[in-house]
Amino acid sequence: MKKFLNLCIIIALAYACCGKGNSLEEKVENTLSQLTLEEKVALTHAQSKFSSGGVPRLGIPELWHTDGPHGIRPEVLWDEWVQAKWTNDSCTAFPCLENLAATWDRELSALYGKSIGEEARYRKKDVLLGPGVNIGRTPLNGRTFEYMGEDPFLASEMVVPYIKGVQSNGVAACVKHFAVNNQEVRRTGTSSNVDDRTMYEIYLPAFKAAVQEGGAWAIMGSYNLWNNQFNCHNERLLKDILKGEWGFDGIVVSDWGGCRDDDEAAANGLDIEMGTWVDPDLEVEGASNLYNLYHLANPYLERLRDGRASMEDLDDKARRVLRTIYRTSMSEEKHFGSFTSPEHFAAGRKIAADGIVLLKNDGALPLNIPQGGRILLVGENAYKMMTVGGGSSSLKTKHEIIPLDALREAFAGKADVIWERGYVGDTTTDYNLVVTGQDLSESRSPEQLLADALAAAKDADQVIFIGGLNKSKNQDKEGTDRLDIVLPYGQDALIEALAEVCPNLVVVNISGSPVAMPWASKVNAIVQSWYGGSESGHALADVLTGAVNPSGKLPFTMPFALADGPLKTQRQYPGIKEEGKQWWQEYYDEGVFVGYRWYSSKGIPVQYPFGYGLSYTTFELSGAKLSASSIKAGKEVSATIMVKNTGSVAGAEVIQLYVNDEDASVERPARELKGFQKVFLEPGASAKISFKIKPEHLSFFDADAHSWKLEPGDFHILIGTSSENLPFDLPLKVS
């Protein structure tokens, strides 16, 4: 009888906390009023590697977090990073976020978010640790592949549908890494020193859009410092800007190990502390109890009890955590999700293919192979699986289709597809006990690999080099940065040698960040592919064969050389050690001149510009005009342009709108992206594209006034198909 009464009490309490029909805020306040001090504190820190506490007494479940932005991480043990070796946690691996950004397609971003959110919900995850929207300040950043390009407007437009798609499943999107976490080298001990104008114009817009337009329920703090205070408890970043100026009502979660100080963690806006590294010698009661040593655990309780920490701040943290729980696992609208469904693999294939960028084509593509022909693939990336490795985005996927297998499938019964390795890059096939099952061992010398590739090329009807980067150290990998943008493993020399013997050479670069292409003039076609997830091979084969007409556009600039970029000094990157300062100091002296803003403003030629990408068809733009020749504060103007498919193949084009301020009182870039639309057209079809130009699109951030400023003067509205192909220049006066 006693057990029955206890159960009734628990049910009654749970009903009182979250009774059906109560508003979200009523549920939160009802529950908060019943919590003890200890229960509130338990909500604010981890209880395992990937979960934070709930309130068992009231039937309030814990929050379960999961990596990552490209797929649902395999399960790990409760107290360790080691894989739990489940047999039912092999997920759908979606394309990397740089691949998604390259689609320039908001609808595909929504599909991506919806699909990955369904996978998270099926696995009973409440917080998805992604997407990432840090701006590509340098092509050396090891996590460039996890982000959405070098432009704040593009990242802002692409992140919003992703968030809405994820959260439609009752899963919180945790947007990361907030903020100015633009390098991996010394990421936990470097202060990113950035002025306010640069922050507000370049590095904050995507996060602001995520909060105010996407309605993100969670934000992850970054490892680095901003202006010498750690970002996981940076007062100005979290309290003043995020929760103050932007009105964010969700949770701030620390990156794993990013919380560094007892007092700042308590006072400066951090809501949930995860993954803090605790010395096991400090605790003798077992690994699980180490969570009590977190900054927001026993040390926090002590500060609350003796008055060093604010009860008001504690209630704010608890309130936000409860709000997140009621939005996710305790939502009145039940979500069940789905996992590794045919629809998810199809979505991944579609996104991967639509983000592939055709950089050059002298008639080599789509492939036209004679019956009984012979296709030679050269390069390790034609064979190597890429979903395993790279850091926290590493996945255990149900399957991964490699380019070699996909092209053999595409040409079955038509042509033989053979493979020569050509070079040895990364032979590892496992990460954190997830194993691909491939054998990448190699006994041949570099000289023999080259000789074998050249010999095979002489007998092939078509040679396709498939190389690029991988997810090993100093490439596209969390925790390390690249050393240069030159292709590793001697690939440049191999491509040059192939070009000498191949009259028709196609080069496919698989990477998540820019690479130099000194051989570009010597090859017939260049394709920029990405880490495309489970269906990466199929997506690439779709584009090469013409089953999919390429429509991807570069989300970053492809420079000729690293030295051409804006980061010229160690002070800018990777930072310097200064006397009297505890942390490494990095100065964003280039200001707002990041990516194409730098190259276009300085007149520096690039290999391929931001926003660039070719098609198997052709498009014609005409009739660009503005609805008015001037604009006033509080008003908006429309820009329209006609686009026609003048070729013989159906395809999609991305029309881009940039703004130039001719008379600014501050130094502004030569052009800034402020609009884009992707339009699909059948051969001969036309469409009218319309853009809304608002005063905020023309404004700059005035740091002294701490507000956006629209100055009177002459502006130019530039419309075209890349940051360097803008044939339409429409004058606009701000009066």
Residue positions annotated with a catalytic role: 255
Residue 389 tokens read as: 């490795």
Q: Which residue has the tokens 């850091």?
A: 391
Distance CA 318, CA 565 (A): 45
In this structure, which amino acid lies at residue 631? I
In this structure, which amino acid lies at residue 300? Y
* Beta carbons of 353 and 651 less than 8 angstroms apart: no
C-alpha pair distances (Å), 660 with each of 663, 714, 729: 9, 9, 10
366 cis-preceded (ω within 30 degrees of 0): yes
In this structure, which amino acid lies at residue 267? A
Distance CA 380, CA 419 (A): 9
C-alpha pair distances (Å), 594 with each of 203, 415, 474: 10, 46, 22
Distance CA 383, CA 600 (A): 38
Three-state secondary structure call for residue 621: strand
Residue 291 phi, psi (nearest 5): -65, -25
List Cβ neighbours of 85 (8 Å cut-off, separation of 6 or more).
433
C-alpha pair distances (Å), 561 with each of 184, 194, 473, 722: 21, 25, 21, 20
Distance CA 165, CA 177 (A): 20
Distance CA 387, CA 481 (A): 19
In this structure, which amino acid lies at residue 704? D
Residue 52 phi, psi (nearest 5): -115, 160
DSSP label of 551: -
List Cβ neighbours of 20 (8 Å cut-off, separation of 6 or more).
332
In terms of DSSP bridges, do strands 651-661 and 713-720 run parallel, antiparallel, or are they unpaired? Answer: antiparallel
Residue 306 tokens read as: 């003796």
In terms of DSSP bridges, do strands 713-720 and 373-378 run parallel, antiparallel, or are they unpaired? Answer: unpaired
Residue 416 phi, psi (nearest 5): -85, 135
Distance CA 312, CA 266 (A): 11
DSSP label of 422: -
The burial class, CB within 10 Å (0-12 / 13-18 / 19+), for 371 is: exposed
What is the b/e burial string over 468-503, where b = at least 16 CB atoms within 10 angstroms of the residue's CB? Answer: bbbbbebbbbbebbbeebebbbbbbebbebbbeebe
In this structure, which amino acid lies at residue 393? S
